[in-house]
Amino acid sequence: MPSALSRFRWLIYTAVLAICAWSLWTQWQQRPAEPMGWLVDWQGELFVPLAGGVLSVQGLRERAPGSLWLAPKGEEGPRLLYRADWQDGDVRWKVEAELALSDKERASLLGALGATAEDGEQVLSDTLLEQLGQHRLSDLLLKPESEVREDRLSASLGAPRARFGLPDGGEAWLYPQSGLTLYLTDGRLDLMQVASNGKQDERPEP
């Protein structure tokens, strides 16, 4: 009889422990996602100015030190790109911004840099980067190198103004007030894009 009572007590203890574990796991699953503080800051200090056409290369460089690149081949002609590797906590990001160029600047760019349309991409000097520090940016891309879930994006940026499905099965979130579009697949971020007002909104290649 005592052994049967002992077994019964152990069954009760085991059930209580299982219920407690399940309760803790449920609470952990339901806890609010942690916002990304840097993203809140960048939205106001970088994204909104870029959307308004006033963010300079130097403005981005102060946040994410990087280098200037020439991309001779582009749909509209050669491009100047600012590229950086940036890290927040355990997430690394690839940052790429395109400099706004007029048709005249684009047409003379290769000759001015001694390059041809057949050349590959090349990094340019820090001296030229300094000289172009006040040049405006027209487009900014941020690509995470590890997983960023949609709940952290919502916690950081709030609900998007609009969201719609993409032909490839992904989803786009639009924040027009800051020129920002997020591209997601299965609830994970693929790419952020910020474009200046008036620039055609096309999904870039991740």
pLDDT in tens, 110-132: 888 888 888 899 999 999 999 99
Question: What is the structure's pLDDT at 37?
Answer: 87
Chain center to CA of 139: 12
Question: What is the structure's pLDDT at 42?
Answer: 95
Q: How far, in Å, CA of 169 to CA of 83, rounded? A: 29
Q: Quick check: 172 and 183 in contact, CB under 8 A?
A: yes
DSSP string of 156-180, one letter each residue: HH-S-SEEEE-TTS-EEEEEGGGTE
DSSP 46: I
pLDDT in tens, 173-200: 999 999 999 999 999 999 999 999 855 4
Please report the sign of the dihedral spanned by the C-alpha atoms of residue 21, residue 23, residue 29, residue 31: negative
pTM beyond cutoff 0.85: no
Q: Which residues of 114-147 are buried (b: 16+ CB within 10 A; e: fewer)?
A: ebeeeeeeeebeeeebeebeebbbbbbbbbbeee
Q: How far, in Å, CA of 43 to CA of 105, rounded? A: 29
Amino acid, res. 28: W
Token pair in block for residue 130:
């300094």
Alpha helices of the chain — where are they, by DSSP H? Answer: 2-30, 37-42, 48-51, 57-61, 103-113, 126-131, 150-157
Q: How far, in Å, CA of 136 to CA of 52, rounded? A: 10
Averaged pLDDT in 10-residue chunks for the chain of 206 residues: 58 58 47 82 95 96 97 86 92 96 88 86 95 96 96 94 94 95 97 81 50
DSSP bridge pairs for 96: 83, 141
DSSP 79: E
Question: What is the structure's pLDDT at 33?
Answer: 77
Residues 6 or more apart whose CB falls under 8 angstroms from that of 38 comprise 88
